[in-house]
Amino acid sequence: MNTDEILFMAYYASQVVEISPDRLQSLINQFDRQGYTLTEGYAWPFTAPDNVISDSNQIEAKILEMCSQDNTGEVLNFWRYPFEFSLSFLLDPENGTRWTISVENDTLMGVENELGERNASEFVEVVRTALAHYPPFYGCAITVEAPPFSEDVFDIEVTKLYPINFYGSEYVQRLGKDQLLSAPAWRVEEVANGVLLVPSLEAIYTDDPVSMEAVEQHFGWAEEEL
């Protein structure tokens, strides 16, 4: 894993999610309403970038590139000072589609490490917005730990908690909606067809084993497997 960034990975099973230009435009519009601007690559300079993409034809071209079956790593970069993130889709005919939202650690922590809590909250909101537009089978935020294996995800056998967790309908059925929504977490709510669970903001930008352990004990994962 790249320890210079934190990313949220959204998993889809064997089916291919319909990215579609209209659906992606709707997501971009929502980010725009939240104050985010598209940039060509990372924002530069960070406080007032001159690489902003504002032309509608350029935005349309970016959308078509992202939705193309020949997509080989296209990325959308969004900026709103003091935060920026990247959105990408991986199209895999055999293993389905996966989207990721990534944030550089330096950005997440902020200037002189004073904006960690604020930017962690921004990260959660960005992930929530993407989940509402593209709800996956399962999703999790990865920092330094390894992501779960795809086979474990689709067999509904992920019993590890991450700084941000999304459980799709199959997981909700297995774990129980009441059990999920009653978890002792900073944020737990229904989003689209699943449940978003965030143990604590501190778990995103620094070490916070207490909140993580409390939720794991709530699910009984310390004693038994699903």
Tens place of pLDDT per residue across the chain (226 aa): 456 899 999 998 766 677 899 999 999 999 999 999 999 999 999 999 999 999 999 999 999 988 887 766 789 999 999 999 999 988 766 666 789 999 999 889 875 557 889 999 999 999 999 999 999 999 999 987 889 998 899 999 999 999 999 999 999 999 999 999 999 999 999 999 999 999 999 999 888 899 999 999 999 987 554 4
Written as one letter, the residue type at 21 is P
Q: Give residue-wise pLDDT tens across range 130-182.
A: 999 999 999 999 987 889 998 899 999 999 999 999 999 999 999 999 999 99
The two tokens of residue 68 are 């193309």
Q: Of 187, 152, 192, which is closest to residue 172 (Cα–Cα)?
A: 192
Total domains present in the chain: 1
Whether 226 is covered by a domain: the verdict is no
SS3 content of the chain, % helix, strand, coil (to 5): 35, 25, 40
Alpha-carbon torsion angle 129, 132, 133, 137, nearest 10: 120
Interior CA angle at 197 toward 168 and 15, to 5°?
20
Whether 153 is covered by a domain: the verdict is yes
Whether 59 is covered by a domain: the verdict is yes
Whether 157 is covered by a domain: the verdict is yes
Structural domain including 45 reads 5-219
Residue 111's pLDDT is 58
Interior CA angle at 126 toward 122 and 127, to 5°?
115
